[in-house]
Structure 1
């Protein structure tokens, strides 16, 4: 049983594809550099990142696959499911081995797996877009374009899959005139938009800003609590108690998002 060690990056995975064709050997498992090899592994190969190899495989993939298929591969990679990297690896190898397109060959287990996983990730992406709620807070991050302490719209998410990179363009277009930040509490990273560009951000003291998956009230802007109260009263006034259907609400809006939505505090 052959195992490839690589740095667990997508770029490193494409280098592993290059090495597999170069050595004419296909690994049965892909391991992180520091990961302990399984009991049945009899041979190993360490893949070093090489930009030339990465670019060669990347350009070849662009020529061989449609934009939809390329997007599906990225979705599978961001799913972070067990052996998702191995599924992507085998799919790419089959693309290069086949003289015809394999994108719709759903009899192949890897093609079907890529399609199914990508569909789940895409659904999660849409849910995040739908259910993200921003709270106005006093900007805890020093803005390189403005030294003043100003207001920023901050949101906390914890999606099943790592879909945060997939929603950034939507929010940049939707809120182009506002400073905002979205933080993935589950993976402990986020992005901030400063009216000029989107940059990755991490919180040095997450427990101070976020308490029980909610923004610490001490950081809320002066009028944010008032707006949230007004919004709750508005939702309460529109609600017809006789028509409340929690089962239907859970079907349309998974309950794991409820604690992130101010309007759902009435249901909690």
Structure 2
């Protein structure tokens, strides 16, 4: 059965497929909800595809705010009345001396990882341009508040906040239609950012590109719907969906590009 599923996905995604199938089986056999760690948009898409057509188990995704990039999955029996608390997400406000210092996404994430947290226990890190908040696994929230007291060289204090206090992030995505001959990583970078494919290739080989938060060094890496691509100093984009072929048999894609 698994081999039939694996053939539709990348080899490096097989471990996640196994994880999802195990969680669905557990929810079905124990008749109880099962909550995942925080997943990437690509992983959420895979989970939705695997859950489609399942009679015994349903899937819901939530990240603690509308349009969250990183979300937790809950697999649950059909009869179960899902509640927000099942996602086990806690929002934390980051207090710091705003008049004298500033913090950035990188310093926040680095401090959390430096405190021993796994990346998949951390959700979105958001700002409205002034204040900063982070979504985390509710089980580790007490540890985070107690042990994370510095971000970079800035002293901080983390505080629990209610869901209705979560910020509306200052992030702007622009819809873009992309016409391309292939879904190769270097080709897509060239199309989205309007520079040569050679320059895109050099960026990939130079370690400047990540796909779904993992550094990829292969210019010929094939992208798929749901993939997040980041290019250092340029920003990020997501392949939203394929929209068929043009008259010249080129691929038409819908992408979301981060406006920076």
TM range (shorter): under 0.3
Using the size of structure 1 for normalisation, the TM-score is 0.25
Higher helix share: 1
Computing the radius of gyration from Cα coordinates, the structure with the larger value is 1
Using the size of structure 2 for normalisation, the TM-score is 0.25
